[in-house]
Amino acid sequence: YDRQYTDVYDFNAIAYVNAGEDGAITQVKDALASQGATATPVIRKGFITTQPNGERGTIRLVVPENANEFASLYHVRGIEGSPETLDLSAEGVWVSQGYANHTGAKVGDNVVFADAGGSTYEAPILGFYEYWLIGHEMIMGRDYYEKVFQTDYQPTVVIAKTGDKSVGDMGQALADVKGFDSIVDDAETQYNNFNTLARVSSTVVLVYGALAVLMAIVVLLNLNVMFIEEKKHELIVLMINGFSVKDAKRYIYNDTIVLSAIGIFFGVVLGCFSGALAVTAVEPPTAAFVKSVDWPAVFIGVFGSALLAFIMSAIALRRIPRFNLTDINKM
């Protein structure tokens, strides 16, 4: 969600108009602009698509009226293997990355899609772009739209960046504009959808995190105690030869630090790998989840692991001052 509304979408609202009113789109756009919003008309329609893997799904088509205005509100960033920038004069479509990830589609393949009336259309894929919301989307130029659908371009909605004004305030200001129907806060709607999923997944993560901490406490404490018991003979010899309890503890600490560092290193590597696998496993066929490393989370994990190792070592090391030096004769 954060990436979508930072890197891709720079608009937060969608205004719907009455298609039967002449000039409604222009009037709504001008009204939004008069309220300080940045707005541009687009066609935004849903279609049924037959995917390369043979499955059927849905896909949304977006066709901007003005390329420059659209570029200021919708940042199309090509993924690897695609052109870096969107060319709306080319004959074809750009498709969201999730479509490529889950259907096996490649640049040059055709997207096959049908409208509610059963009419089927095809368009070659020019590239794939970053898209982090649930669902598939494709973008084509205005001229190519008229060629494919054999109809004049007639935008259906206005996308807008409302700035400091809330979408509710915008709706009230546009209430009397001829042709205006409604305006929705797309960012808030998508956030609510995202938050529903995040609450469930966050609960699961917290449960597993708590279990991991409890297991780490038990395992680390037992390992430290066992390690000290194994080194008991050497520690008593050190103290008999004039080394202090502090020196004996430092001897154990050195080994603990090295072992903890090795464990943390391999834990980070395996954790990132298994995390990517877990995200891939739960990723629905209509989405592309972020699988890159979340470095703040890694640093928190490293710090937490190091802190637990230090605390458990400190608890286990309390056994050393209780050693009876005469026990060396029993070993």
The neighbouring-strand residues paired with 125 are 93
Collapse the DSSP code of 53 into the 3-class scheme (helix H, G, I; strand E, B; otherwise coil) and give the result.
coil
The mean predicted confidence, pLDDT, of the chain is 87
Q: What is the pLDDT of residue 329?
A: 57
Q: What is the tens place of the pLDDT at every residue in 121-177? A: 999 999 999 999 888 999 999 999 999 999 999 998 999 999 888 898 898 988 888
**DSSP conformational letter for 4:** I
Out of 59-68, 220-229, 230-239, the most confident range is 59-68
pTM of the model as a whole = 0.75
pLDDT at 74: 94
* Dist CA 322 CA 95 (whole Å): 69
What's CA 108's distance to the chain center, in Å?
27
Closest C-alpha to 164, from 307, 13, 325: 13
Residues 6 or more apart whose Cβ sits within 8 Å of residue 330? none
pLDDT in tens, 277-310: 888 887 777 778 888 888 898 998 899 888 988 8
In Å, how far are 5, 14, 220, 294 from 303, measured between CA atoms? 31, 44, 15, 15
CA-CA-CA-CA dihedral for 205, 210, 212, 216, to nearest 10: 160
Look at residues 115, 19, 101 and name the one whose alpha carbon lies nearest to residue 60.
Answer: 115
- Cα separation, 228 vs 166, in Å, equals 63
